Copies of this chain bind each other. A is one copy, B any other.
Amino acid sequence: MSKGNGDLVQLTGKDFKSDQEVRWCPGCGDYAILNVVQGFMPELGLSRERLVFVSGIGCAARLPYYMQTYGMHSIHGRAPAIATGLAVTRPDLSVWVVTGDGDALSIGGNHLIHALRRNVNLKILLFNNRIYGLTKGQYSPTSELGKVTKSTPMGSLDYPFNPLSIAIGAEASFVARAIDTDKKGLTEVLGAAARHRGAAFVEILQNCNIYNDGAFDYVRDDKENRIYLESGERIRFGAEGEKGVVQYADGSLKIVDVEEAGENSLLVHDASHMQASLAFALSRITFETDGAVPLGVFRSLEREVYDDLMNDQLDAAREQSGEGDLATLLHTGDTWTVA
């Protein structure tokens, strides 16, 4: 199959704009993400034909139409499964999944967690606006308890998923979070995801200004509530880095005043820790419980990649038995000849 012939051509973000008019609501956070994604693409160093964006259904899922790459706008929730088939048969491609909180965590929850545990070489971008945008404003599995929406006039009753917790619980090897409007943070996370071989799960906090405006203002606007995680560094944040994260004997994490607690008591982030517990504990730090939100790469662990293993087995089988021969196959077992 074609490996593309333009790997070395120097592309810019503009080269990744398709000729389709972008049709999100004015002011939607999806525009910012699209810009960052297009701007980031040249960093991959791949020619456009090597890139594929696969999406489900939702506002977020429209993104592939706007990318001058190969793309499929599939059906609701199934993008991870479809992308898995593509990725394992075409290791030469860079396959990106674009999905929303409903698409990925409601109808598509099962495909997502299985793609993660398999560690298929997919880059999964979940645009979390904590609402169903495309269907005009019902609550989603990430909407906060008690949320009043079109389908929950007296408030929603279901405790929300924490996308990162469920991803880590599903054995994800790479888990990160960024904000739609935070170009630098998002670009960095996209870079780390792209470099990670295996399934990379990225939650992007995205503002839906029509149906859930301001859902993330506490961290989108209030930068001092952003906890940027850096592997190997002590976890601190705040306008002046005056706050930090410590771990107690019972394993729980807590936000502290650095001056009071002492810098050395702060937890050191280690995204590649063998045990997933640390990343999980960090995923439990939320604005609701702690007034701050960790961003960046929570977990990035090298693990065997499904697609590679599958292709290795094909090679091994050929080595063992030689390239399959159809005539031999048809003749396996007892045969007899009629003259």
**Chain A residues near B (Cβ < 8 Å):** 106-110, 113-114, 117-119, 141, 145, 154-155, 157-162, 165-171, 247, 249-253, 267-268, 270, 273-278, 280-281, 284, 303-304, 306, 309-310, 313, 316-317
Q: Once the chains bind, are B145 and A117 in contact (CB under 8 Å)?
A: no
A-B contact pairs, 13 of them (CB 8 A): A109-B109, A114-B141, A114-B158, A117-B160, A157-B304, A157-B306, A157-B310, A159-B171, A166-B170, A250-B268, A251-B277, A275-B284, A276-B280
Return chain B residues, CB-CB under 8 Å to A313. Answer: 154-155, 157
Say which residue of B110, B281, B304, B309 sits within 8 Å of A109 (CB atoms).
B110
Cβ distance A224 to chain B, nearest Cβ, rounded Å? 23
Cβ distance A90 to chain B, nearest Cβ, rounded Å? 17
Could you say how many copies of this chain the assembly holds? Answer: 2
Say which residue of B159, B267, B304 sits within 8 Å of A117 (CB atoms).
B159
Q: Once the chains bind, are A119 and B159 in contact (CB under 8 Å)?
A: yes
Return chain B residues, CB-CB under 8 Å to A304. Answer: 145, 157, 159
Q: Which 9 A-B pairs have the closest CB atoms?
A: A169-B169, A110-B110, A277-B281, A109-B110, A157-B309, A252-B275, A118-B158, A251-B278, A166-B169
Return chain B residues, CB-CB under 8 Å to A317. Answer: 154
Shortest Cβ distance from A116 into B: residue:
B159
In the docked arrangement, what's the CA distance between A234 and B312, Å?
Answer: 46
Cβ distance A144 to chain B, nearest Cβ, rounded Å? 13
